[in-house]
Structure 1
């Protein structure tokens, strides 16, 4: 039931809405296993996307975004929240899906905190990991596409892209 590597090699604009309703599985250090339904995602697509970290080019921080889909890209914001992104697409084409919400957990910072993410997740292969992966879930699902959040710096073209996807109730 775990999603295979080939799933994540598709384009981010296919994967981001398709992840809605799927189950994110997390096995914590104490062995406790929890499953969460993915309820909100956001797509970031390539160096041309001014809201994408890769728009600044390849750096130590963004290196993972240039890998073939199926690996975790985490980064720290405000010095306290690790945000979970899943790299998608082909090697050398940086794109990722930000997991913005899980059932009863709204906001990417809260998601990272609930999942107890840290820098050690950077580069983790989500298709082989023993501590975090994604499985098929409830299908089919309906969703709403909306503007991405917190990217005022990106410019009108990128602000107005409907690349945030929210699972309908």
Structure 2
């Protein structure tokens, strides 16, 4: 696993200007960092899902649906889109640019910094299950609805340089069965063979980044 020598360096705004599908892949291996009064907690992103509204029936912004919840999706790229599903807060990165409501869900992390703090927050000790789900990782890192709309180029929540995956796998998104043809779109990306992904399933394609 390759790590950058200069420590935690937030990614610049330019990173977030990529097309959504490209950024969903580029986010793999990046650090997701949350700073709180309790300390820093961070993990390498190992799994993402892209949502490209308004034509994506699985997206909250499908058909330009603009509500109090989705409002931030219509703003510039590189902002945090958090929302509640049942009792869980889920974390997304706004993409697509202004008035193009798209976002990328972070589904799973490989724990890296503040692991003891994450274990305390989750109440578990097993590293493999600490952040292997979108609700698990937000609780472990301390990401909440208060982070809605935050810029991701600086604290308290941000993406930073991490490592380059050797290969990524591509497949269908999870948990969107009632969305027509959208359920079959191959817009889920994960680091091949990572033990920290939220769900292991057969990939439709594997992209070797370092052949």
Q: TM-score, normalised by structure 2?
A: 0.75
Larger-Rg structure: 2
Distance 1:26 1:118 in 2: 10
Query: Which residue of structure 2 aligns with residue 125 of structure 1?
Result: 151
Following superposition, which runs of at least 4 residues in structure 1 exceed 6 angstroms of deviation? none
Query: Which residue of structure 2 aligns with residue 100 of structure 1?
Result: 107
Distance 2:70 2:24 in 1: 19
Distance 1:133 1:116 in 2: 13
1:58 and 2:84 are equivalent in the alignment: no
The answer as to whether partners of 2:165 and 2:191 remain within 8 angstroms in 1 is: no
CA RMSD of aligned residues (A): 1.2
Distance 2:41 2:51 in 1: 27
Structure 2 spans left out of the alignment, 5+ residues: 1-8, 111-127, 194-211
Distance 2:28 2:165 in 1: 9
Distance 2:186 2:157 in 1: 28
Change in Cα spacing, 1:76 to 1:13, as seen in structure 2 (3 Å) is same
1:143 and 2:151 are equivalent in the alignment: no
1:161 and 2:169 are equivalent in the alignment: no
* Pairing 1:6-25 to 2, within 5 Å after superposition: 6-25=14-33
Question: Once the two structures are superposed, what CA deviation does each residue of 1:43-94 show, in whole Å capped at 9, x if it has no partner?
Answer: 000111000000151111100011110100000011x100000001211001
Distance 2:30 2:43 in 1: 8
Q: TM-score, normalised by structure 1?
A: 0.93
The answer as to whether partners of 1:71 and 1:124 remain within 8 angstroms in 2 is: yes
Query: Which residue of structure 2 aligns with residue 77 of structure 1?
Result: 85
Distance 1:117 1:23 in 2: 14
The answer as to whether partners of 1:17 and 1:41 remain within 8 angstroms in 2 is: yes
Distance 1:163 1:101 in 2: 15
Instruction: Name the SS of the counterpart of 1:153 in structure 2.
Output: coil
Structure 1 spans left out of the alignment, 5+ residues: none
Instruction: Name the SS of the counterpart of 2:73 in structure 1.
Output: helix
**Count of aligned pairs:** 165
